[in-house]
Amino acid sequence: MFQDIIHTVKSPYRDDMHILAYRFGRGEKVACIVGPTRGNEIQQLYICSQVIRELARLEKTGAILNNNQIMVIPTINQFSTNIEKRFWAMDKTDINRMFPGNDGGETTERIAAAIFEAVRGCSYGIQFASFHTPGEFIPHVRMMDTGHQSTSLANLFGLPYVLVKKPQPFDAGTLNYCWQMDGTNAFSVYTPATASIDEVSARQAVSAVLRFLTRMGIIKYNCHSGYIASIVEEEALMPIKTDVSGIYRPLKRPGSEVKFGDVLAEVVDPIEGEVISQIIAPSDGIIFFAHSKPLVIQNCVVYKMIRRLHE
């Protein structure tokens, strides 16, 4: 294992922020793994740390094959992590909307430029990411529908689902999108937690990454075969909304199978304590995403549901 600094952000009041890269193996850089870009992505940071731990162990046993090099950047926003902020603390910008970056721009643009220069040119790019809406997902691999994506490669992670998203204008600044447009096979791995640690799904994500690297002939690692993933178009997910505001009481979690008419959640009056609304399943299906905050407002999306597994 070799560690180096790929970018430094100077600070007049505290230690400089050094963005570190860990390199495993030798030769051509074939895979890059990037941890959290946001300060509250503690689950993603933990997963990345466990990947580094496993790769260090595999390197010592000679299990990184064929003159391959794997680079891991465990975090690129520890300033915000230290003060428990999601976005860049100075101006509240999102680094994962700044790619491919600008080395003569604002601080977050310079960070994005340095990261993208370090990770570009690899065959496979893996990012541990979180969603812009607070909530929990079924573990899955997410990729942009840019015309350069490969769902067959995404299936090799062995996670239950592969979600394909049609990019919106604001997605053009994400690492996943810029990686794909630059010729890298890019995958974002999502697990249920963000600001807390879910040990079970963290182990599942680590195994998925090591399984993918094994199947691509980059490492030698023994693990079970995982799932044959179902391919889901994001547009096919059914959003389920609240009709009132109040205290949110969820009754179903991601992965729950539900039937038409099932009660999925309740909204409680925050003053009088009575249940003022029930969220009812509009169809048979599987809960893919669930809102996780204790309060909701009217028309808030609290669930996204897969209506059926197979077309």
User: Residues 14-19: what's their mean pLDDT?
Assistant: 88
Q: pLDDT per residue over 24-34, tens digit each? A: 999 989 999 99
pTM of the model: 0.93
User: Residues 18-40: what's their mean pLDDT?
Assistant: 96
pLDDT of residue 40: 95
pLDDT of residue 15: 83
Per the prediction, the chain carries an average pLDDT of 94
Task: With a cut of 90, say whether residue 90 has pLDDT above it.
Answer: no
pLDDT of residue 310: 44
pLDDT of residue 311: 44
pLDDT of residue 134: 84
pLDDT of residue 3: 95
Q: pLDDT per residue over 189-227, tens digit each? A: 999 999 999 999 999 999 999 999 999 999 999 888 899
pLDDT of residue 149: 93
Query: DSSP string spanning the chain?
Result: -EEEEEEEE--SSS--EEEEEEEEESSEEEEEEE--SSTT-HHHHHHHHHHHHHHHHHHHTT-B-TTEEEEEE--S-HHHHHTT-SS-TTT---GGGSTT--TTS-HHHHHHHHHHHHHTT-SEEEEE---SSSEEE-SEEEEE-SS---HHHHGGG--SEEEEEPPPGGGGGSHHHHHHHTT-EEEEEE-S-SSS--HHHHHHHHHHHHHHHHHTTSB---------PEEEEGGGSEEEE-SS-EEEEE---TT-EE-TT-EEEEEE-TTT--EEEEEE-SSSEEEEEEE--SEE-TT-EEEEEES-S--
pLDDT of residue 225: 83
In the chain, the domains with their CATH numbers are 2-233 (3.40.630.10), 237-306 (2.40.50.100)
User: Residues 113-133: what's their mean pLDDT?
Assistant: 94
pLDDT of residue 44: 97
What confidence category does residue 126 fall into, taking pLDDT thresholds of 50, 70 and 90?
very high
